Amino acid sequence: MGVYIDQLFNETTARTAETQMLSGTGTTAGKYYPLFKGKLVKVTIYNTPQAATSLCQAAHVKLIQQDWDPNTIIFPVGGYGLQTVAGHGGDGEERSDYVVDLVVAPDKPIDSLLIEFDSPVTPRIRVVGTFTM
């Protein structure tokens, strides 16, 4: 059994309505296609300030795949208070880990939706998956 880690989605824009995230490490919204047939066993979501002043109190990420039951899974994301240049030394990053057991395959893309609550300002969200094959 092999293990690989890959970035599924990212977002660098404040989203106050549910919006499809950017695919992988790219700059275009879209779906993530798993590299191999296997299982998604862990989802890690990073919520990081990205500018001189950043704020993100809370968010959630939805991962959607039509063969999952349920086919939409909601992952709450921890937030951080107002971050300024002085506090921008990395201590603002919030990390949320979720253990899951979801079957994946290259021909079964995963979609996403993101919403950030409470007037977000320049947050950066990354969704990383740990897979077994």
Round to whole Å and give the CA distance between 30 and 27: 9
pTM across the whole model: 0.91
C-alpha atoms less than 13 angstroms from C-alpha of 21 in its C-beta half-sphere = 29
Over residues 84-112, mean pLDDT: 84
pLDDT tens digits for range 32-64 = 999 999 999 999 999 988 887 888 889 999 999
- CATH code reported for the domain at 3-132: 2.60.120
How confident is the model at residue 118, as a pLDDT? Answer: 81
Residue with the two structure tokens 């994301």: 77
Domain ranges for the chain, please list them. 3-132
How confident is the model at residue 93, as a pLDDT? Answer: 79
How confident is the model at residue 7, as a pLDDT? Answer: 98
Q: Tell me how crowded residue 115 is: count the other CB atoms within 10 A of its CB.
A: 16
Q: How do beta strands 72-83 and 54-64 pair?
A: antiparallel
Q: Tell me how crowded residue 37 is: count the other CB atoms within 10 A of its CB.
A: 13
How confident is the model at residue 89, as a pLDDT? Answer: 52
How confident is the model at residue 52, as a pLDDT? Answer: 78
How confident is the model at residue 88, as a pLDDT? Answer: 46
Over residues 104-117, mean pLDDT: 96
Evaluated on CA atoms 70, 100, 31, 109, the torsion sign reads negative
Q: What is the 3-state secondary structure (H, E, C) of 64-82?
A: ECCCCCCCEEEEEEEEEEE
How confident is the model at residue 91, as a pLDDT? Answer: 58
pLDDT tens digits for range 61-92 = 999 999 999 999 999 998 888 887 655 455 56
